[in-house]
Amino acid sequence: MWIERQSSPMNIMTIGTKNDESINRIQEIIGCWHNICVTLIIDDLNNLSFEKLEALFYIHKPEVVICNAHCISVQNIHLLTEYCNNKNIKLICLLFDFTLDSNLLENGFNIRKEKIISQFQKQDAVLNIERNAVFRTSTVYGDNQGDKENNFIHSLLEKISGEDVLFVDNTNVFYPVLMDDLAFYINENLSKSGYFEIVSDTPITLFQMAGVVMEVFGESKDNLRPNTADSIYTFDVNCINPGISPLKKGIEIIRNQIFCSFNLVYKYSPHEYFMKKNIAFFRYEMGKSLALAVSPDIKERIDYVMPIPHSGIYYAIGIAEALNKPFIQGLEKKSRSEKSFFIADSLRRRRSIFNNMIFIKEFISGKSLCIVDEAVFTGVTLKSVCAKLREYNVKEIHICIPSPISDNSCESFIQPKRSLLLGYTRPESLKNYFDADSIIFQPIDIFKEAMGSIHHNLCLHCFGDKGEEL
């Protein structure tokens, strides 16, 4: 479960290939509690050297190294193990028997005996050091936004949408693990050493898995056919670790991740597109629609519209244009790359927000400001900003939120699972909580209409059925 943790964050180095979906997801989840200090991208099997490791370790000082061993040769696993041992650093090795990608749909299983042998050689090398750990499974699956062409689920949905019949292996069985579950399992066991086998509780074939994907995504199975092939893969299950999502539940989580409304509201970059809709323009339009909920007396008192950077910028541009008020950026972030929202620990998050904010007093002192942020979940950022604005003698603070009230925790691992502000604060008390003169949320019906125009299947779970001026 994605919950708040109070343990001290560690410096973690990850090693993987470009568009490595397993490492990417592990970084996202573990990075909520720990510092991913550096990621080493391996372009080929012989891209490690003592000199490269020496430079990286000297600069970034990792305490733990997490490595996807699929992209590293046995020789380089020995090199990495020896180096980490000399530096007294823990090495965590991920071993996947095969990659669940689009290639399986076309060519089926191609498990060579030499590869399985190399897996055990890597495992033995890492476990030769008592502090190290190996996490092994047959394969993992998930949503890789960065490399959709090679992703099994994205590729399957694209291929099945055509008229051609798709034959899929129905002989070889495996135990697929949701990447999120694997990441949580590793995060919970960072301090442990030894061998961990993480598998689902039910063996399944590719054809059976494809059928579950079709069912969850509401697609027809008419063009899906079982293909009988040679049995060339088996996974010797020694123990089944708990906490792994059943396949259907895992696919439902991926569907919700793909069609997550919060991604449009916050996570995606302004230049990106979702369902042919530009993110920046979507946010600009949502800002314009929210401006309709601002009462005339509040509009009259507003001097400037100011976003909380960087996700609030395009919403604020829309609001400023609709209200015919000047748009200013009186608040700046030192780092554009750090997103404090995904820091699970509340104390660490508050520290990150304060350390990363710069206020331009010439724009804000003595003014009545319309402050724009994309959503209210924990309220940590808004409360920090409002408190600082009062220190600069801001005359009035009017908060505009272009999404509805959020009173449901995310169940699909897009956001850290933590206490939401609306879980312990009544909506009518928010104005006093933030020390603001007013707070205005996007009406839920307008929000739903906007999301429905993009895609009928968007997940709106985290947003409640409220949205009015408070």
Q: Which residue has the higher pLDDT, 335 or 311?
A: 311
> Where among 210, 239, 258 does a domain terminate?
258
pLDDT of residue 4: 43
pLDDT band at 239 (very low <50, low <70, confident <90, very high): low
pLDDT of residue 72: 82
pLDDT of residue 427: 85
> Where among 227, 258, 289 does a domain terminate?
258
Tell me whether residue 464 is in a domain: no
Q: Which CATH number covers residue 325? A: 3.40.50.2020
**Do both 279 and 240 map to the same domain?**
no
pLDDT of residue 1: 40
pLDDT band at 49 (very low <50, low <70, confident <90, very high): confident
Tell me whether residue 463 is in a domain: no
Tell me whether residue 364 is in a domain: yes
* Range among 66-80, 107-121, 147-161 with highest mean pLDDT value: 66-80
pLDDT band at 413 (very low <50, low <70, confident <90, very high): confident
Return mean pLDDT, the chain: 86
Tell me whether residue 238 is in a domain: yes
The mean per-residue pLDDT over the stretch 377-381 comes to 88
**Do both 231 and 317 map to the same domain?**
no
pLDDT at 6 over 60: no
**Do both 89 and 195 map to the same domain?**
yes
The mean per-residue pLDDT over the stretch 214-234 comes to 86
**Do both 106 and 136 map to the same domain?**
yes
- Report the percentage of the chain scoring pLDDT > 70: 88
Q: Where does residue 174 rank: exposed (0-12), middle (13-18), buried (19+ CB within 10 A)?
A: buried
**Do both 331 and 347 map to the same domain?**
yes
Tell me whether residue 341 is in a domain: yes
The mean per-residue pLDDT over the stretch 35-51 comes to 78
**C-beta atoms surrounding 139 within 10 Å:** 20
pLDDT of residue 3: 43
* Range among 44-48, 62-66, 229-233 with highest mean pLDDT value: 62-66
pLDDT of residue 328: 96
Point out the least confidently predicted range of 86-100, 189-203, 411-425, 432-446.
Answer: 411-425
**Do both 180 and 325 map to the same domain?**
no
Tell me whether residue 359 is in a domain: yes
pLDDT at 466 over 50: no
Q: Which residue has the higher pLDDT, 299 or 410?
A: 299
The mean per-residue pLDDT over the stretch 108-122 comes to 74
Q: Which CATH number covers residue 174? A: 3.40.50.720
Range of the domain at 34: 11-258
Tell me whether residue 3 is in a domain: no
Tally the domains of the chain.
2
The mean per-residue pLDDT over the stretch 123-129 comes to 93
Tell me whether residue 116 is in a domain: yes
**Do both 287 and 338 map to the same domain?**
yes
pLDDT band at 244 (very low <50, low <70, confident <90, very high): confident
**Do both 156 and 304 map to the same domain?**
no
pLDDT of residue 407: 83
**Do both 189 and 58 map to the same domain?**
yes
pLDDT of residue 107: 75
Q: pLDDT, tens digit, for every residue of 184-211? A: 999 989 999 999 988 888 889 999 999 9
pLDDT of residue 161: 77
Q: pLDDT, tens digit, for every residue of 321-346? A: 999 999 999 998 876 555 555 555 55
**Do both 213 and 283 map to the same domain?**
no
**Do both 214 and 235 map to the same domain?**
yes
**Do both 240 and 269 map to the same domain?**
no
> Where among 204, 228, 258 does a domain terminate?
258
